[in-house]
Amino acid sequence: MTDTSRFADSPAAGTSPASAPGNQYMDDARPIAVGTAGPGCAKRDPIIVADGVRRTFGALNAVDVEHVEIPRHKITALIGPNGAGKTTLFNLLTGFDSPNAGSWTFDGHDLAGVQPHRVACLGMVRTFQLTKVMGKLTIIENMRLGGQDHPGESLWRSLLPWLWKPREQELTAIADELLIKFKLAEKREEYAASLSGGQRKLLEMARALMADPKLIMLDEPMAGVNPALTQSLLDHIKNLKASGTTVLFVEHDMHVVRHIADWVIVMAEGRVVAEGPPREVMKDPAVIDAYLGAHHDVDLGTAGGTAQLEDALSEDEESVIGTEDAGELLAPRAPDTTADEPEVRP
Ligand SMILES: Nc1ncnc2c1ncn2[C@@H]1O[C@H](COP(=O)(O)OP(=O)(O)OP(=O)(O)O)[C@@H](O)[C@H]1O
């Protein structure tokens, strides 16, 4: 069941968790990898651990990942040229597709063969490259669908309003909080079909948060989003990290990746070909090769370009990071006592 207290205004509300001093998740500068960074390297505190995950379409090896770990409480970007297998890997990890081989765990749970709704219940939710909001439902109805333990979902419960009404009211309250934070509250009763592409991305992200995820996977969250909303989305992603939520996202804009990612995993032809902190990974010859093989004009996000993006964002009046309006998307998770000491694993 959703922990509603995480959505309520906490004592820290009114300051930006992304910029407030002393945020344990933002300030954690401990190394992410155990030992040297590289394809398949072990992490100090992984939330996903995948082994031998393979998915073929006919003769094509869409995904062929020997070993990969996603670090907990961090923002990880999954990048790679078109057709590298990023979306297919998302589909496999979240139960929307089945692999030919392989196993993976999420937060210690074995997830191979687990259905998407069960994966979501365990705390791993995702958004899609092409948004899947329900156009013929209103925004608030879309939001309620994202909640767990949905009221009235069984016939006998639906006939007994006293069983589902309190839960529906609770879900509506959570949804309204999130709609305010995503600046969609005024559109509450409008059909989702009336939203712009960027607003649909915001709605899909807000709806994913209804499940109070431990990990949110965003498939190209910035694609098709106009610049005015880019700021808002980036703020939300950073604020998620500040609240202790792990973020894994696919993105093609390398300036965005350099701006917000703590860690970058690079795929090419189904495999993980490089991993590391953004600034180092972009210089890796394997990454340059992977991109040059597919795109001769790709911009791997020079430091100058990233600085320009950072300047533009800091001047953007729409930015809520560091302002009184920031609030928190989710109240911070309890401190992670198990992650204090580096875990040495084989
Ligand atoms: N259902 C499918 N049937 C056949 N081939 C598929 C299917 N889904 C994906 N593929 C192929 O698998 C490969 C990996 O596709 P995928 O969409 O995972 O790549 P991607 O890295 O997400 O690319 P992009 O950045 O363009 O979204 C591609 O060659 C794609 O054409």
CA distance readout (Å), 197 to 48, 130, 240 = 30, 9, 22
342 domain residue, yes or no:
no
Q: Is 36 in the pocket of ligand 1 (CB under 6 A)?
A: no
**What is residue 210's predicted lDDT score, i.e. its pLDDT?**
87
Q: How far is the CA of 276 from the centre of ligand 1 (A)?
A: 24
- Among residues 82, 100, 101, 109, which one has the least CA distance to residue 215? 109
Residue range 305-324: mean pLDDT, rounded: 51
Report whether pLDDT(258) > 60: yes
Which residue do the tokens 């001769």 mark?
Answer: 296
Could you identify the atom of ligand 1 that is nearest to the CA of residue 81? 25
122 C-beta neighbours (distance < 10 Å), count: 17
Mean per-residue pLDDT of the chain: 79
**What is residue 168's predicted lDDT score, i.e. its pLDDT?**
75
277 domain residue, yes or no:
yes
Contact between 176 and 185 (Cβ < 8 Å): yes
Dist CA 30 CA 248 (whole Å): 19
Among 56, 61, 79, 87, the mutation site with the greatest number of ligand 1 atoms within 8 A of its Cβ is: 87
Dist CA 346 CA 343 (whole Å): 10
33 domain residue, yes or no:
yes
Report whether pLDDT(183) > 80: yes
Dist CA 263 CA 71 (whole Å): 8
The full DSSP string for 193-206 is GGS-HHHHHHHHHH
Q: Which residue has the higher pLDDT, 58 or 145?
A: 58
- Residue whose Cα lies nearest atom 25 of ligand 1: it is 82
Amino acid code (one letter) for 29: A
pLDDT band, residue 84 (cuts 50/70/90): very high
Residue range 59-70: mean pLDDT, rounded: 96
**What is residue 165's predicted lDDT score, i.e. its pLDDT?**
64
Percent of the chain with pLDDT over 90: 35
Containing domain of residue 64, as a range?
4-332
Q: Which residue has the higher pLDDT, 74 or 259?
A: 74
**What is residue 188's predicted lDDT score, i.e. its pLDDT?**
82
Report whether pLDDT(64) > 90: yes
Residue range 302-318: mean pLDDT, rounded: 57
Which residue do the tokens 């320009």 mark?
Answer: 308
Report whether pLDDT(331) > 80: no
pLDDT band, residue 66 (cuts 50/70/90): very high
Q: Report the 3 state secondary structure along 35-50.
A: CCCCCCCCECCEEEEE
210 domain residue, yes or no:
yes
**What is residue 344's predicted lDDT score, i.e. its pLDDT?**
39
| Whole-prediction pTM | 0.80
Query: Worst-scoring range by mean pLDDT, 85-99, 119-133, 208-222, 308-322?
Result: 308-322
Q: Which residue has the higher pLDDT, 231 or 36?
A: 36
Report whether pLDDT(319) > 70: no
CA distance readout (Å), 234 to 318, 320, 324 = 11, 10, 17
Residue range 4-9: mean pLDDT, rounded: 44
CA distance readout (Å), 149 to 2, 132, 163, 254, 285 = 8, 20, 12, 38, 48
Q: Is 272 in the pocket of ligand 1 (CB under 6 A)?
A: no
DSSP annotation of 129: S
Residue range 182-209: mean pLDDT, rounded: 85
CATH classification of the domain holding 20: 3.40.50.300
341 domain residue, yes or no:
no
Report whether pLDDT(115) > 50: yes
Q: Is 82 in the pocket of ligand 1 (CB under 6 A)?
A: yes
**What is residue 162's predicted lDDT score, i.e. its pLDDT?**
56
172 domain residue, yes or no:
yes
Most confident listed range (92-106, 280-294, 317-331): 92-106
Please state the ipTM of this predicted complex: 0.97
**Structure tokens, 171:** 């879900």
Share of the chain residues as helix, strand and coil, in percent rounded to the nearest 5: 35, 20, 45
207-238: b or e for each residue (b if 16 or more CB lie within 10 Å)?
bbbbbbbbbbbbbbbbbebeeebbbbbbbbbb
Give the pairing type, strands 109-110 and 101-106. Answer: antiparallel
Number of domains in the chain: 1
Residue range 66-76: mean pLDDT, rounded: 97
Dist CA 219 CA 236 (whole Å): 15
Q: Specify the 3-state DSSP secondary structure of 271.
A: strand
345 domain residue, yes or no:
no
Please enumerate in sequence order all residues whose Cβ is within 8 A of that of 214, keeping only pairs 6 or more positions apart, or say none: 47, 107, 123, 124, 245, 246
Which residue do the tokens 């880019």 mark?
Answer: 230
CA distance readout (Å), 211 to 10, 117, 162, 312 = 19, 10, 23, 33
**Structure tokens, 314:** 């800091």
339 domain residue, yes or no:
no
Residue range 93-113: mean pLDDT, rounded: 93
**Structure tokens, 295:** 């795109």
- Among residues 78, 168, 191, 182, which one has the least CA distance to residue 126? 78
Bridge partner list, 105: 49, 110
Q: How far is the CA of 215 from the centre of ligand 1 (A)?
A: 23
